[in-house]
Structures are given as C-alpha cells and as structure tokens.
Amino acid sequence: MTISFDLAENSVLAQEHYNRIAREQMRPIARDADTHEHELPESWVEWYWLHGRDNVGDVNAPSDGFIQVCIQAEELCWGDAGLYLRTPTAALGGSAVAAAGTQEQRERFLTPFRGSGHPIWGAMAITEAEAGSDAAAIQTTAERDGDDYVINGQKIFCTAGEGASQVEGGFVVVWATVDKSAGRGGIKSFVVPAGTPGMELVGLEKKLGIRASDTATLRFENCRVPAANLLGSAEVKKRDSKTGDKGFKGAMATFDASRPIVAAMAVGVGRASLDFLLEELDRQGVSVRFDAPPSELTAIERDVIEMIGELQAARLLTWRAASMMNKGKPNNLEASMAKAKAGLAVTRITQKAVEILGPPAYSKKLMVEKWMRDAKINDIFEGTQQINQLIVARRILDYSSSMLR
C-alpha cells in the first residue's frame, strides 16, 4: 500500500490563499494589535468578514476536509495567533454545536455566520476558578424550569467571549451541571445567544501572549435559555451507572475536533519563528548542513535540525488526527497526541529561536519575542500538556480515569 502525503489540489490552493492573507493582512498589523490589547482590531475584523470567508477553489473539487481547517489555522497563525483568535467565526462554540448538536441546532446557530451582515463570534465557556483541567468539577448549574433551563455561575478564560456574548448573532456554549449528585453524568452544554438577559461580561484578561484576542470572564445570573438550546441528550446517568459518563463523554468529544486545530495553531507560530530564524541565519552567512555527519555539526546546526524535525512531527500528528475526523473514526488518542506534541514543540522552537538570535530577539525590535509569548498558550488551553499526556497514557494502557490520575 502506498501512503501519500500530498495535499488535494483545493487544499494547496487554500494553503496559498491563507498564507497570502497572513502576509498581506495580518503581519503588517500584528505588532500594533498586540500592543493595543482589548481594542478591537477593526481593520482585520472588517476585512476578514468581507473578504476572508470567500470560497477557495472549486467547491465541488476534492479537498482534504478537516485537514484543510488545520491548514487554515496554521497559515493564519503564521500571520498572527492573536488576530486568528479574534477572527469573526463560530470558533470553539461552533465546534461544540457541530459535534454535539442536532441538525436543527446546527442550522439555527451556525447558519447566521454565513448570512449575517456584520461580524459575529462564537465562544465556549467551560473553565471556572475551581474547575480548570478537571471539567467534571464544574459548579455552574442549569436548573430545569418548565420549557427552559436557568443557568447560574461564572466562567473564566472564555476565548472570544466578549464578541460572542455582546454582538447580535453570536453565542456562547456554556457547560453546566444539571445534577451535581450525578457527577460527570450531570454535565451538559447549552447555547446562550448573545444579549441573553442574565449573561454579563464582567472582565477581560490581561495576557502574556495572544493579546489581540479577547479572553473574557462571564457571569450567569438567572440566565434563562430554552430547553431546545441543550446540546445532546437531557438524560442524566448517576455515578454508579455503567454508562454514567456517556453524556459527559459526548460533551468532551468537542475537544477531539478542537485539539487538532490548536495543534495546527501551534505549528503556525512555531513555523513563523523557524522561518525567521533561517532567514536571519542566511542573511548572516550561516548555513545549515543537513547532509553532514552529526559529529561535524555545529551547536546551531544541531538545534535548527532538531527544531525542523519537531515541527514536522507535530504537523504530521495533527494531520493524522484531522484525517481520522474526516473518516468518522474515533481520534481521542490522536487528537491528544497532536496537541501535546505541538504544544511542547512550539514552546521549545520559539524559545530556542530567541536564544540563538540573542538580545535583539528578546527586545521588541523583532517579532520573535512576540511569537515566544504567543506560543505558550498552545501548551495550556484545550487541555494542558499534562492532561493530554495523561489521556494518551490512559488510551494506550486502556486505563480508566479512576485507574490513572
């Protein structure tokens, strides 16, 4: 059997298209957007809404499906990761609706993104002060009241939470428990449209990196949403039920789609640093001998070769997880492997680029210091490095969460 790593023609066109957007629209304003945190990068948002969503190539021609989504993430994050996260899209909220929603819910919540006359956003609200990596520890509640659910609680670190909660047409997917006694089985997700009474934006984080993006704290106080906005089954399984985690696992399946995208983001940031490093070394007359024996390589050559290998490995793991999504195969293990590898790789690559280039790279004279700051979040959100390694170990060893913590 022959294994091909060639992309479909439409995917190649998409790669070129998004790289051109990254070079021409994102790079020129990346530093300014990073400096002016919490200010909407209006030129980027308006341009992307009007032009960036255009179809690439022949819509009927073969493409690589979800791999093309990862290609888009890599190329645009090569441009700027913060601006990518500020791009008006359904984002993580859309991934949740697509993964766990019904066809009617997908049409109701995702169609406006194609037909709205103004930029809108989607977001997902999971993390709480006492529930970070352990999503099952969520304390936000959703109580059934007739045909509605009433949500109470507070969420932190909601990417795109400002736009999704404030701008007409946007929405936030909120994770809450409908029955604390059921543990994981009581965790459900609800779509809360922007402007819903009881959903309040109470703060924006000041961050190390991805500063162009909005990372919000949202409070839910007697926030009422229709029962029809519940994603997935309303059935609750108790802790002692053998199928008690099914509802929770359904909600967690969102990460099987989102983690390869975050991995692709990491690859994009890492590639930005590596490309710049290679260009700068070439400008200084320093060449990398890929065909020289290891014993003859300089320290810089060894570092660069290792950086390239790390990046390529992360990309291939990402595309593998995405390819399994295309085929409808379970990819929980592969998605976590890609996320863990890419998060670690981008952290090492960007730090090493700063180290090799020296003091100028640590100053704001060069973009390398920004890429190093932008890199670390890819090792944290959508499941930390440690959590993803734990998931990989559980899947390989066939251990339950209670057997391996």
382 belongs to the catalytic site: yes
Out of 162, 301, 310, 382, the active site residue is 382
Q: Three-state SS across the chain?
A: CCCCCCCCHHHHHHHHHHHHHHHHHHHHHHHHHHHCCCCCCHHHHHHHHHHHCCCCCCCCCCCCCHHHHHHHHHHHHHHCHHHHHCCCCCHHHHHHHHHHCCHHHHHHHHCHHHHCCCCCCEEEECCECCECCCHHHCCCEEEEECCEEEEEEEEEEEECHHHHHHCCCCEEEEEEECCHHHHHHHEEEEEEECCCCCEEEEEECCCCCCCCCCEEEEEEEEEEEEHHHEECCCCCCCCCCCCCCHHHHHHHCHHHHHHHHHHHHHHHHHHHHHHHHHHHHHHCCCCCCCCCCHHHCCHHHHHHHHHHHHHHHHHHHHHHHHHHHHCCCCCHHHHHHHHHHHHHHHHHHHHHHHHHHCHHHHCCCCCHHHHHHHHHHHHCCCCCHHHHHHHHHHHHHCCCCCCCC
Q: Which residues pair with 148 in a beta bridge?
A: 145, 226
What are the structure tokens assigned to 181, written together?
A: 């006694």
Q: Where are the beta strands (DSSP E) in 53-208?
A: 122-125, 141-145, 148-159, 171-177, 187-193, 199-204
The b/e string for 191-214 (b: 16+ C-beta within 10 A; e otherwise) is bbbbebeebebeebbebebbbbbb
Strands 171-177 and 122-125: parallel
Phi-psi region of 339 (alpha: psi -120 to 50; beta: other; left: phi over 0): alpha
Give catalytic residues, as residue numbers.
Answer: 382
